[in-house]
Structure 1
Amino acid sequence: MNIPYYEYGDRIGRTARIRTGSAAVIYDSDGKILLTRRSDNGRWCLPSGAMDPGENLEETCIREVWEETGLHVKIKRLVGIYSTPHRVTVYAEDNRWQLVGLCFVAEIVGGRLGLSDETTEVGFYPFESLSEMDILEPHLEWITDAQTNSDKIYIK
């Protein structure tokens, strides 16, 4: 079993605890999107993670990007708030979460791109190539929403 994985069902979130976190869509100068490959399951994702006590969600996003990639970023805009009750993220039988995630577009302001203990690869990829990659399902949705380049904030 690869960890984490997802369970789907009508209001399955009732069977889990709530976890809040955030993710960043970061573009390079060519419009490619920064993705990381997770060390726990080998899947691609946005830099992301859970909120720590004493943080707000923007701070969570900035910290997670730095921890996973070595890059310093500033938040540009909110893409959306995602809290579907129909998906649960499972890390272990007793570690099941309905996620409340905020996705931001962020801009690189410093640092050096590199790996962490949570990542085995990092790189910038064109949106058109993402369908060929094994990307975490929620993250693909968030990237697609960010690609609209609109002021619309998604609430899903």
Structure 2
Amino acid sequence: MSTRLAAGDPAPDFTLLDADEKPVTLSDLRGRKVIVYFYPAASTPGCTKQACDFRDNLAELNGAGIDVLGISPDKPAKLARFREKEGLTFPLLSDPERTVLQEWGAFGEKTMYGKTVTGVIRSTFLVDEEGKIEAAQYNVRATGHVAKLRKDLKV
């Protein structure tokens, strides 16, 4: 099981390809807060609900100085189809080797339908302007998560 991050930890930097196969580097976003969220698979019901919730709340989050990055093991082409189908307006990043997922503690054992499996742990992090973890949430629910996040952030 990978190590879990906690508030105050430095956010592990990464460069991943987005849906257009352009590199996105976390440290390039310093000076703004960033929500980094990890999800299992594009175009599945829970992941679609969560991504659409972020899309629908993006203006308010951006207005509060917060960017959003979604990361999954999906390849860029699948992310591009997901983005187009759902009208997503924030970067979706591809981590097919699951390197970043593991560095952030978002890949490992989890319970699904009463069974222990290894996979992506739906997780959300708030990274502050200096690149430190401000909040780390593991095993979040796809539905209602963004509303709770906005309430916690007072956005």
Provide TM-score, normalisation by structure 2: 0.29
Higher strand share: 1
TM-score scaled by length of structure 1: 0.29
**Greater share of helix:** 2
